[in-house]
A and B are shown apart, each in its own frame.
Chain A
Amino acid sequence: MSTERSGRRGENRREALRASRTQRQVGSIRPLVRKLNPVEALDQEGIEKIHKASMRLLTKPGFLILDYPSALEVFKAHGATVEGNIVKIDEATLMHYVRMAPSQFTLLARSEQNNVTIGGKHMVFAPVYGPPYVADHDTGRRQSTLKDFENFNKLSHMIPDLHHGGGTVVEPNDIGVNERHLDMVMSHIKHHTKAFMGSVTHADNAADSVTMARILYGTDAIAQNPGLLSLINVSSPMRHDDRMLSVIDVNARAKQALIMTPFTMVGATSPTSLAATIAQLNAEALISVAYAQMINPGTPCLMGSFISIVDLKSGAPTFGTGEQNLLLFAATQMARYYNLPVRTGGNFTAAQTSDYQAGYESASTFWPTVQAGTNFVLHAAGWLEGGLISGYEKFILDSESLGMMANYQRGIELDEESFALDAYDEVPPGGHFLGASHTMRHYETAFYSHRVFNMDNYEKWQAEGMQNAYKRANGIWKKMLAEYEAPALDDAKREELEAFMRWRKEQIRAGKPRTEWQG
């Protein structure tokens, strides 16, 4: 608050205010540590029951390893039983390895202030991952390109409640399948200064991601704290394929962090029962975590889960239902039971465009995600059509909800100042607090201030062009991209990264086997 006179000096204040209140906080994150106790769906007895059921699944039917004999060898060498392609592992052996994974770790970001803690009460929001299409208000759905990929990274840079830059924010379909991972990692490095994810589309691509992280952060630095987080999907029920296992190998050897995500389409890849589903996904995540520890003890791992109930009338994934949210709460409880960081949830919807369904389903998944105290929330912004579309407007609209939810998890402050005693001295019963000194001390930061949603009355809204939220978000992302400035990147690092990319692309195009970069 300023009590100085207006006038000539007041002009400066106006400029400063206009600047600070319309500008975005660019390049740095607003970290989030939850204050509230997580919502729970299971009592202690329930947790034990699920645990037992999971242990049973890992001995009967066991876990299938598809086309990757070396993993069978690893399991055998570490005390599991291998029958054909099936691994069976008892509770003691499994838990011995699970306990080797850290309960909390720091993930490096290009800008040190953007390093994020994964685990404990920390919550990290990251953008949508994986869609092969992009959509916006102007053109609808279309195949996405590298330019779209870069655009989402630029937007992430300008959204402080996105704590992490994500990975495949959208698929760059215009770049060759065998080399696009290089352009993707490079864009993350260039266009924002937050942490990012590695490629999982092939073991070589994962190895390239590790090399790029080494160039960016230094080999020693990423050996101490991971510079990459990669998304491993269990192909439920009870199965891993060669691609995912080989990517675990590469990252675990380099001690880079992994999200072990059973991907349950409840009703199709797990039974039509909540208890069975949670037991199954728990078993799948645990054996994945244990495997990474067998490769390299201490590899940071998250227990993940992607839970969607299949619409049994079409096979399509659904989102935001009560049952799904129960599973989400239970999954986070199980992870805490094992003392492991947890990834689940997001701003999910099956809707094809940013309409009422999109908003409602997203809110219905994002609230529980936040209330569950999830440590890492992938798909926190931009998700449409069950993960097939990255939506520009959805990205902006979701980022509004990130800010609101973050304030929710900051909880209720109970210190003396928060009881506003002086405000009651100043304002008599029946008065108002809008001008009280207490208000003047806090109004700027006390509450979430909307950036996208509109609180105008009908007439003002009408006079200003009757734009709904979808349309407004369209204007916002365009303005943001127009204002975007690339964060500076160390020249020597940039040159080495570019040299590495050129060298690897030549190798890939010539069809030569991958060799290690010698600098």
Chain B
Amino acid sequence: MADELDLRTLDDEELVEQMHDDLYDGLKEEIDEGTRILLERGWSAERVLNDALVAGMTIVGIDFRDGILFVPEVLMSANAMKAGMEVLRPILSASGVEPIGKMVIGTVKGDIHDIGKNLVAMMMEGGGFEVINLGINNDAEKFLAALEQHKPDFLGMSALLTTTMPYMKVVIDELKERGMRDDFIVLVGGAPVNEEFADAIGADAYCRDAAVAVETAKTLLAQRRAAARAQA
């Protein structure tokens, strides 16, 4: 039983394995504690992140993909991951380690569909990303204000209606207008959206589902950082 177990009695290897199990079981407090213990034992934040948290969530991701886990379970896991990230984030940024990434996401103006977008937000958090979820019915002003405030790596937009899809372009055009387009990786999704449309409106990628959104985000951010390093 997790609540009877004193995490401090475990050696590093056992503790990391226990944390993988705790992530799987969505145990937020245990993850918070495990993260702190590893740091106390002198682990770098980066190592805790990769070996304990990301590796654990990878297992969750696989079992979600394979239809083993239910959405509410993944939600619990993502929350546990988030708890660990909250401990690590200030240390990571102080030590100059590149964070996994940050996303501002919302459903566009005129559209109140949010089940899919919330799933994406949840899976992104599970993947270690910091997510600012703007909710539904967001106009360009709201998106831009959030981008300026949070300075994320990604802008994620969701639309479920053919009548609101074009609004994604309005937001992208506004970014261009203000010379901010290249500051963000723009990802779009929603049932009626497709690759062709994403290309046509000048988004960076179309994501057909939440798992793909996480993968795409990781890939594009890595590419962007590599390109930035090559330029520097």
Confirm or deny: B62 has a beta carbon within 8 angstroms of a beta carbon on chain A: no
Q: Is the CB of B115 within 8 A of A177?
A: no
Confirm or deny: A445 has a beta carbon within 8 angstroms of a beta carbon on chain B: no
Q: Is the CB of A312 within 8 A of B72?
A: yes
A141 nearest CB neighbor, chain B only: B194
Query: From residue A350, how far is it (CB to closest CB) to chain B in Å?
Result: 12
Confirm or deny: A468 has a beta carbon within 8 angstroms of a beta carbon on chain B: no
B59-86: contact bitstring with A at CB < 8 Å (1 yes, 0 no)?
Answer: 0000010010111100000000000000
Residues of chain A contacted by B72 (CB below 8 angstroms): 312
B164 nearest CB neighbor, chain A only: A177
Q: Is the CB of A235 within 8 A of B163?
A: no
Q: Is the CB of B110 within 8 A of A313?
A: no
Q: Is the CB of B119 within 8 A of A177?
A: no
Of the candidates A201, A314, A388, which one forms a contact with B163 in the assembled complex, judged by CB atoms under 8 Å apart? A201
Interface centre among B119, B162, B191 (most CB of A within 10 A): B162
A132-B192, A241-B112, A312-B72 known; A177 and B162 CB under 8 Å? Answer: yes
Query: Which residues of A221-244 have CB atoms within 8 Å of chain B's CB atoms?
Result: 235, 241, 243
A164-190: contact bitstring with B at CB < 8 Å (1 yes, 0 no)?
Answer: 000000010100010000000000000
Residues of chain B contacted by A133 (CB below 8 angstroms): 192
Query: From residue A194, how far is it (CB to closest CB) to chain B in Å?
Result: 25
Query: Which residues of A291-348 have CB atoms within 8 Å of chain B's CB atoms?
Result: 310, 312-315
Chain A, interface SS category: loop
Residues of chain A contacted by B163 (CB below 8 angstroms): 177, 201
Q: Is the CB of A315 within 8 A of B162?
A: no
B134-168: contact bitstring with A at CB < 8 Å (1 yes, 0 no)?
Answer: 00010000000000000000000000001100100
Residues of chain A contacted by B210 (CB below 8 angstroms): 315
Q: For the complex, what is the distance from the CA of A269 to the CA of B112, rounded to whole Å?
A: 12
Residues of chain B contacted by A39 (CB below 8 angstroms): none
Q: Is the CB of A173 within 8 A of B162?
A: yes
Query: From residue B49, how far is it (CB to closest CB) to chain A in Å?
Result: 27
Q: For the complex, what is the distance from the CA of A454 to the CA of B187, rounded to whole Å?
A: 48
B192-207: contact bitstring with A at CB < 8 Å (1 yes, 0 no)?
Answer: 1000000000000000
Query: From residue B152, how far is it (CB to closest CB) to chain A in Å?
Result: 24
Q: Is the CB of A67 within 8 A of B69?
A: no
Confirm or deny: B99 has a beta carbon within 8 angstroms of a beta carbon on chain A: no
Of the candidates A171, A241, A310, A315, which one forms a contact with B137 in the assembled complex, judged by CB atoms under 8 Å apart? A241
A312-B71, A314-B71 known; A171 and B115 CB under 8 Å? Answer: no
Q: Is the CB of A313 within 8 A of B119?
A: no
Confirm or deny: A476 has a beta carbon within 8 angstroms of a beta carbon on chain B: no
Contacts A/B (CB < 8 Å), 29 sampled: A66-B112, A66-B137, A132-B162, A132-B191, A133-B192, A171-B162, A177-B162, A177-B163, A201-B163, A235-B112, A241-B112, A241-B137, A265-B115, A268-B115, A269-B115, A310-B71, A310-B115, A312-B70, A312-B72, A313-B69, A313-B70, A313-B71, A314-B71, A314-B209, A315-B71, A315-B116, A315-B119, A388-B191, A388-B192
The chain B residues found within 8 Å of chain A, CB to CB, are 64, 67, 69-72, 110, 112, 115-116, 119, 137, 162-163, 166, 191-192, 209-210
